[in-house]
Structure 1
């Protein structure tokens, strides 16, 4: 199905099942511990052995020698895979460093060997007997030190230094100016489930049960790395215990499980230990950002400039922290620049809301600082600079843009009028209290997505697509879509996901999964409805599907009868035309936060939070709210505690476990409220939906920072906002 004209009224608009707060259909499996995650799939193939990854002990250099002899004599030993015996390996499109290193070492904890044994404990013990001598060479591990050696870098296909108007001339002449620098640190995905895979060969065909967000991408990269036809690779990933972008791509666990299984001639399972998840896989790169804003005295932005520096391994890409600044506010004279420094740290790559998450952590502080210079309320300053067209392409309107409504609705609900504009003036016992706000934007990305839909003799509808569920509720919204389209209750829908033998979907990432994958199911269901009507001799345009039946004129037939013993099957994909070029498609949010800061210790407590989202049709308010409050929690972590500490001498992340890498716990998060504005976007897809999973993170960190400033009068521009950055500026207790 080609989608190249705005959606009109269609069966989804009935909203009998779509749009309802349906419980997650996979919930009982997860709450009872019976959901089959990758490492736990003991039943999929017999005689599984265990692999344990040996990571490099240096960040840059080469292996001088490696002694495997002692490990090979260890109890239960089966095989060792290294670069010397793995055969010729290619490199996938989405991997910057090699997933199996040696003799050259590109980053700390780069996998250099996999030891396979009968049990996990035996594999781990044997791995500790591998002796490696290295020749260490100097590397660059400090972004600030490497900042001046940057190269221009485009992010997500955008030009590196686009400009509109004359920023260089307009900024110095603006009556009111801001020129400030902000930093965000390296972040870890820190998902609960580790990267884990089971691999088994049958002849020259490979099956991998894994935890992966993008099945089709990973099939291609695994085949390319192994040098085999992609038709010989099958990936199965029905349940994923969190990814946040860290499982978008092929990683060492899947490749080494495949190599280990080939070497041991039996199935092998591999899970990365927690320290290797930080250093062996990907992370969100640190940024240094400079923001300049010039405005008239009445608060209209005349010049806005945003530069961002980040680092990655040679061949890697930048953290595109300036992209939201190209779209969020009006201003005639504009400059954004994305700059990449070469670092020898582990690979930087996508983490939830890549670009916008750290970019808004800076931009939305800068907007508050500018509002203060102007003597304006922070919400009013944002409203005055709203735009209904792409500010860098004025001929392209936004398909929907309710940012002002988000801000106004949130201000009323949160009690913004009770905020004291003078910072450091409100006390509640020992707590200095304050409120903060931030706006957020995340683009709506469109990508082809396919599905297969079957109708059987029982009237049951089965949906098959390689779409994944990373805890986001994909099973449920896909079931809701099929039920709405075919006119059956949810208990008559079966959803099968995460298998590369199914039609290729959008996959889970970039908050594009919900809209695109359900649109693909919509397209397949349209074809199935036509097949049912054709078989019954109905005019498909007149056929009405409901209550497990199809009706046309005076004739009504059950779907079970229409399917017959042989059943009916249809397959189709949603394919997008030029609407994405004609309209800027984005989602918007306003975040509100109230904090208390202990006047003696500087300890920050989040008191309450509110997110008001405008994100198209909300397919399931319950699971969408879950996504947003999870993102809000993640934003609190980024604001107050999350930081991968870099050993700038040795080139690794020191706090590479969940004891040292702190994330919020239940006690850190109080009441959270989420409001979804009533919005449908017919430009987006037949579903008229968008995404919310990353939008909920965009702007949270800045809202926390702005609330802390309002509470204390201390402006912190370097995240995370830890006690040491507040203590010196606090008033006498």
Structure 2
């Protein structure tokens, strides 16, 4: 089956199908659903980082009219089944944090109680006067003091790949004509999506629950809830129709989910729990990381040796690990490589995947080190990268399924005007502004997960496709509609997409840049299966011109099923259902990654970023005035939503380079800037010209759609390109992020 060019939507740039809902305020988020008999929960957070709870004085609070309950470790263990061995889908090794389980305090702002009342205002007030006595113990939250205590993770997490060594890195470095060795640092960073975490639990008269939760995976949350509370899947439906940003913070079930379900089951009424902006800093973050990179080249600038070591924090109760150093063994050709990695447990909550986890950290250090090495070898930084271009994945010892990074170099350099760049730092100025140009690149996995979808067509010719996949704001509703409309030759407006509900076919977490490949392929497979079913029905019609046609002989276009070689021979799609007497036809199907291709090829997206900065010589202020980001990510499903993802990534990269850092006061083990006022992210005035381009890249091996993820790769290279541009402008090399003006003065 195929479609006519008149009904091709994939690769075009239609508007978001969910756009009207969002701009009119009709789209419902987790804490916005109206449910009957709703009570409100407010979380009480620990002010200490380590210790024990001596006593919770709840009598005064419970005496307030309208306060329904105070949940704490003193009354919870009998209500929920806590299984130390149970882990959610993305939990690292160790034992997950269990809210309100006992009197132990493991990290600052740990939830120690939930006050539930008839109104939100009363719950908040009651929580503010709840007295809790603590026994304080000495805590450790500074990884700088634990440099020599890191250990190589043994338990790890799903998806973590231990770094591989090859040949002799020390020997390669000893034989090098040019060498550098430096440390690169960035502090903790928090996801800070606009929508705060909240859950609304609708308690039905029969005791069943409909749970509206902010999450990137409704099935993950359902498995978590049913396991802990001993519920069946039928008793705990989880829904997330829209999400106001996640960036990885919603991959794991957060504690508002547990607390709201706990309260609803105990009180036998609907409950909503919403976290504050400050409490959003109490779970998960990009970990504070220290990295050391050593590079060496021959006289011609070819890499001979590379050593990359990274150390970052984890919690006391879980071994969180990231693929920080692995990218350094893949992105550039080098015969002698040693990659090593350590984690150090501290009295903090477990870090959590944050956009391009590991790669954003590791590629920053690598790409700045590559810039430094280029200058040491006397080569233009882009020419240095070309000279060390990797034609195959040296870690896996396998060819890339496709790689158009060299073409991205050419496209980006041409559009940016890189050939006009002087080599020497401090060579260009505009008045009191020093102008600098920098370049950096990135690589990210192009993976696919198992996913399922359902397609239903009704007698009026309307198609509904459904999957439990989430919508983080990336355009999932739109691209699924495009795939379905094109596959069955229907107008885009005739397609409805349903997402984010555990009553729908199972889909993976929305993360890792795999949703388009995984769920998109499932949607395509399902629509093709529906098309075959429609063809069989069409062949049963009187005098059907499609009677002897095989699926490959027909195409779906403009509401017709017609012969490819004789397009005048056709059947109206709506007539097929009406004549058959079927009110609707439904098909379920799924998609799986190809294990042979996964083994045979290395599958990745690539990008290159060119950045221009202007630095005030007297004040040290840095303005990013121009960014060109060129991405090679297979087939682009929607030019508009794809560009928007990369635009957002560039803004985040500016933030990472110049502003973003969660500052810990180690005296208290507490993040000090846990708000939007002091956790700095770019505003409109900080963002100037951003250009996004995609190089054409056909990949028949990566998945049936030929798509690769773009949500993560667009971030890579941005912070490093800006850092390198700052050096080119000022002659001062900064190796710790963010680049505050005091580092330049």
TM bucket, shorter chain? over 0.9
SS in 2 for 1:441: strand
Tell me the number of residue pairs that the alignment of Structure 1 and Structure 2 aligns. 715
Name the counterpart of 2:524. Answer: 522
Q: Deviations over 1:643-668 (max 9, x none)?
A: 00011121121110101100001110
Name the counterpart of 1:6. Answer: none
Runs of 5+ unmatched residues, structure 1: 1-8, 728-733
Q: Are 2:676 and 1:681 aligned? A: no
TM-aligned CA deviation for residue 292 of structure 1? 1.1
Alpha-carbon distance change, 219 to 609 in structure 1, aligned in 2, over 3 angstroms: same
Task: Specify which of 213, 227, 252 is matched with residue 230 of structure 2.
Answer: 227
Alpha-carbon distance change, 453 to 408 in structure 1, aligned in 2, over 3 angstroms: same
8 Å Cα contact 2:160-2:323 kept in structure 1: no
TM-aligned CA deviation for residue 310 of structure 1? 0.5
TM-aligned CA deviation for residue 449 of structure 1? 1.1
TM-aligned CA deviation for residue 147 of structure 1? 2.1
**How far, CA to CA, are the matches of 2:376 and 2:157 in structure 1?**
32
**How far, CA to CA, are the matches of 2:101 and 2:304 in structure 1?**
51
Task: Specify which of 36, 41, 62 is matched with residue 72 of structure 1.
Answer: 62
Name the counterpart of 1:5. Answer: none
TM-aligned CA deviation for residue 358 of structure 1? 1.2
8 Å Cα contact 1:464-1:495 kept in structure 2: yes
Name the counterpart of 1:105. Answer: 105
8 Å Cα contact 1:155-1:320 kept in structure 2: no
TM-aligned CA deviation for residue 159 of structure 1? 4.8
TM-aligned CA deviation for residue 30 of structure 1? 1.2
Q: Deviations over 1:615-643 (max 9, x none)?
A: 00000000000000100000100100100
**How far, CA to CA, are the matches of 1:684 and 1:522 in structure 2?**
15
**How far, CA to CA, are the matches of 1:409 and 1:156 in structure 2?**
36
TM-aligned CA deviation for residue 101 of structure 1? 4.9
SS in 2 for 1:630: helix
Name the counterpart of 1:559. Answer: 573
Q: Deviations over 1:498-519 (max 9, x none)?
A: 0011001233101111121111
**How far, CA to CA, are the matches of 2:8 and 2:188 in structure 1?**
45
Alpha-carbon distance change, 700 to 323 in structure 1, aligned in 2, over 3 angstroms: same
**How far, CA to CA, are the matches of 1:14 and 1:330 in structure 2?**
45
Following superposition of structure 1 onto structure 2, how do residues 528-567 of structure 1 map, counting pairs within 5 Å? 528-537=530-539, 538=546, 539-552=550-563, 555-564=569-578, 565-567=582-584
**Is the deviation greater in 432-441 or in 559-568?**
559-568
Alpha-carbon distance change, 630 to 157 in structure 1, aligned in 2, over 3 angstroms: closer
Name the counterpart of 2:592. Answer: 575
**Is the deviation greater in 201-210 or in 686-695?**
201-210
8 Å Cα contact 1:285-1:319 kept in structure 2: no
SS in 2 for 1:423: coil
**How far, CA to CA, are the matches of 1:682 and 1:290 in structure 2?**
38
Alpha-carbon distance change, 679 to 15 in structure 1, aligned in 2, over 3 angstroms: farther
Task: Specify which of 420, 423, 443 is matched with residue 422 of structure 2.
Answer: 420
**How far, CA to CA, are the matches of 1:276 and 1:429 in structure 2?**
45
TM-aligned CA deviation for residue 10 of structure 1? 6.0
SS in 1 for 2:61: helix
Task: Specify which of 287, 294, 297 is matched with residue 295 of structure 1.
Answer: 297
8 Å Cα contact 1:310-1:319 kept in structure 2: no
TM-aligned CA deviation for residue 254 of structure 1? 1.1
Task: Specify which of 4, 7, 22 is matched with residue 14 of structure 2.
Answer: 22
Q: Are 2:351 and 1:364 aligned? A: no
TM-aligned CA deviation for residue 572 of structure 1? 0.5
Name the counterpart of 1:329. Answer: 332
**How far, CA to CA, are the matches of 2:286 and 2:600 in structure 1?**
32
TM-aligned CA deviation for residue 566 of structure 1? 2.1
Task: Specify which of 394, 403, 406 is matched with residue 404 of structure 1.
Answer: 406
8 Å Cα contact 2:7-2:489 kept in structure 1: no
Alpha-carbon distance change, 622 to 161 in structure 1, aligned in 2, over 3 angstroms: closer
**How far, CA to CA, are the matches of 2:133 and 2:357 in structure 1?**
37
SS in 2 for 1:177: strand
8 Å Cα contact 2:455-2:463 kept in structure 1: yes
**How far, CA to CA, are the matches of 1:359 and 1:238 in structure 2?**
34
8 Å Cα contact 1:12-1:18 kept in structure 2: no
Name the counterpart of 1:730. Answer: none
SS in 2 for 1:639: helix
TM-aligned CA deviation for residue 66 of structure 1? 0.7
Name the counterpart of 2:258. Answer: 255
Q: Are 2:25 and 1:33 aligned? A: yes
TM-score by length of 1: 0.95
Q: Are 2:49 and 1:56 aligned? A: no
Q: Are 2:408 and 1:390 aligned? A: no
**How far, CA to CA, are the matches of 1:382 and 1:190 in structure 2?**
34
**Is the deviation greater in 428-437 or in 259-268?**
259-268
Alpha-carbon distance change, 400 to 15 in structure 1, aligned in 2, over 3 angstroms: farther
**How far, CA to CA, are the matches of 1:176 and 1:111 in structure 2?**
53
Alpha-carbon distance change, 36 to 347 in structure 1, aligned in 2, over 3 angstroms: same
8 Å Cα contact 2:2-2:556 kept in structure 1: no
TM-aligned CA deviation for residue 406 of structure 1? 1.1
**Is the deviation greater in 268-277 or in 89-98?**
89-98
Runs of 5+ unmatched residues, structure 2: 540-545
TM-aligned CA deviation for residue 201 of structure 1? 3.0
Name the counterpart of 2:542. Answer: none
TM-aligned CA deviation for residue 725 of structure 1? 0.4
TM-aligned CA deviation for residue 157 of structure 1? 4.2
Name the counterpart of 1:588. Answer: 606
Name the counterpart of 1:92. Answer: 87
Please give the root-mean-square deviation of Cα atoms over the aligned residues, in Å. Answer: 1.6
**How far, CA to CA, are the matches of 2:345 and 2:423 in structure 1?**
43
TM-aligned CA deviation for residue 100 of structure 1? 3.3
Alpha-carbon distance change, 446 to 13 in structure 1, aligned in 2, over 3 angstroms: farther
Alpha-carbon distance change, 12 to 294 in structure 1, aligned in 2, over 3 angstroms: farther
**Is the deviation greater in 484-493 or in 172-181?**
172-181
Name the counterpart of 1:451. Answer: 453
Name the counterpart of 1:133. Answer: 133
Name the counterpart of 2:543. Answer: none
**How far, CA to CA, are the matches of 1:409 and 1:336 in structure 2?**
32
Name the counterpart of 1:481. Answer: 483
SS in 1 for 2:529: helix
Alpha-carbon distance change, 634 to 13 in structure 1, aligned in 2, over 3 angstroms: farther
8 Å Cα contact 2:207-2:268 kept in structure 1: no
**Is the deviation greater in 489-498 or in 545-554?**
545-554
**How far, CA to CA, are the matches of 2:326 and 2:26 in structure 1?**
41
Q: Deviations over 1:566-622 (max 9, x none)?
A: 211111111122211110000000001100001111000111111000000000000
Q: Are 2:223 and 1:245 aligned? A: no
Alpha-carbon distance change, 422 to 101 in structure 1, aligned in 2, over 3 angstroms: farther
TM-aligned CA deviation for residue 442 of structure 1? 0.8
Q: Are 2:599 and 1:601 aligned? A: no
TM-aligned CA deviation for residue 392 of structure 1? 2.2
8 Å Cα contact 1:99-1:251 kept in structure 2: no
Q: Deviations over 1:104-138 (max 9, x none)?
A: 11111111111111111011011112111111112
**How far, CA to CA, are the matches of 1:212 and 1:567 in structure 2?**
32
8 Å Cα contact 1:92-1:220 kept in structure 2: no
8 Å Cα contact 1:439-1:588 kept in structure 2: yes
**How far, CA to CA, are the matches of 1:101 and 1:428 in structure 2?**
61
TM-aligned CA deviation for residue 316 of structure 1? 2.7
Alpha-carbon distance change, 270 to 318 in structure 1, aligned in 2, over 3 angstroms: same
TM-aligned CA deviation for residue 333 of structure 1? 0.9
